[in-house]
Structure 1
Amino acid sequence: MVAEGIERLLAGTADLVGIAQDGPGLLQLVRREKPDLVLSDVNMPGGNGLDVLKALRAEGDRTPFVFLTMHAEPALAATAMRAGANGYVLKEAAGEELLSALRQVLGGATYITPSLGNPALQAHALGMQELTPKQLEVLRLVAGGLRSKQIAERLGLSVRTVEAHKYTIMQILDVHSTLELVRRAEDLGLLF
């Protein structure tokens, strides 16, 4: 029913090359048809849209990939974007917003439904600076309750370097305290 509604919405705007009923079917469809864009749900029978996206990206496929989902979870959206998604649109916001998102993604932009309301997630979608592996390591240790001196000892860094990493992370995530930093990192799914 959802697929039929989307098909009607896209009529005259795009040519539908196929509808997949499950994850393996979507993967086969994309490989066979080489579409200009993939629109997928996160949850699908026989796997999920994230698994399909990861498989395609691992194969070197760079087809723009947009999730249309009911999951209004910033952490899941951030996970999808880190996996290589180009868009994340909530089903409740479909219609004109979906068409706008698809146009933006086809134009090379990234799109996340604004109603998710997470500035850091929005910044990520718009090309925000990614955290380096060392910054992620420091972030996870901060979230684990370690102080800068303990982190420095564990990582073989100076306390000053740890503090510099923490400051940079706070700037990137647009937070002003350690508590905010940990909460934002949790919201973005950075503490896995």
Structure 2
Amino acid sequence: MNSFDRATPVRVALADDQALVRAGLRALLEGQAGIVVVFEAEGGGELLERLHDTPVDVVLSDIRMPGMDGIQALQALRARGDATPVLLLTTFDDSDLLLRASEAGAQGFLLKDAAPADLSQAIRQVAAGATLLQPVSTDPVRARFQFQDQTQPSEPFNEREVAILRLLAGGYSNKEIARTIFLAEGTVKNYVSNILDKLGTRDRTRAVLKAITLRII
């Protein structure tokens, strides 16, 4: 995890198409010690333009915006090599959005009704290099996909393996998983290999889909 000087304010960019929401978020965040809102943007396009000239420590963006939405802006940001941490906000507890956000490279995904203290803590955490993982609801995925191979695992899964499978379902890398559950990256890699062997699958995507189908996660 990167070090982050607590004495230095965390510089935040806000992106939301609703002026009242931006004003509320600004007031909320600037009421917290150590956070400063550097600029606001009405959409993804404006956000990308402003970030060219005004770097920040964290981007706090709504997901659903007209034109270029939060996930599209994140994808464009990563495509141009900008690794600024991004926290995506939504009013919808939508597992598909969570999966899309994680695949696009978001560091966090929060509901807009999160407590103010949780939001400010999340901003500080991602500024320090952390990734915020939230539980992935697998029911929508199970309803959409039925993995063809439904043979049972060769061995039962222990709690640690199930936890890692859930993180794999969120689209997170071995490095992110290692940082989250305090293991060496090589140890996580070994766990993933064991998971694939137990499920009889060739890759992480097939392992996750099969684990969801079999209700392991």
- Indicate whether the TM-score tops 0.5: yes
Contact 1:68/1:91 (CA < 8 Å) preserved in 2? yes
Q: How far off its partner does 1:112 sit?
A: 3.8
Residue 26 (structure 2) pairs with residue 7 (structure 1):
yes
The one-letter code matched in structure 1 to 2:215 is E
Residue in 2 aligned with 1:101?
122
Aligned partner letter, 2:111: L
Higher helix content, 1 or 2: 1
Answer yes or no: is the 8 Å Cα contact 1:22–1:45 preserved in 2.
yes
Q: Distance in 2 between matches of 1:26 and 1:168?
A: 32
Structure 1: gaps (5+ residues): 130-159, 185-192
Deviation at 1:127, TM superposition (A): 2.3
Q: 2:94 maps to what in 1?
A: 73
TM-score (normalizing by structure 2): 0.58
Q: Quick check: 1:22 aligned with 2:43? A: yes
Aligned residues: 151
Give 1:44's aligned residue: 65
Report sequence identity in percent: 36
Determine if contact 1:40/1:49 at 8 Å carries over to the other structure.
yes
| 8 Å Cα contact 2:75/2:105 also seen in 1 | yes
Structure 2 equivalent of residue 180 of structure 1: 215
Question: Given that residues 65 and 85 in structure 1 are in contact (C-alpha distance below 8 angstroms), is that contact kept between their aligned partners in structure 2?
Answer: yes
- Give per-residue Cα distances to partners, 1:8-64, cap 9 Å, x unaligned: 111143121111112211111112211111000111122101111111100000001
Question: Is the contact between residue 168 and residue 204 of structure 2 (CA under 8 Å) also seen in structure 1?
Answer: no
The 5-angstrom pairing of residues 17-166 of structure 1 reads 17-113=38-134, 120-121=166-167, 124=170, 127-128=176-177, 163-165=200-202
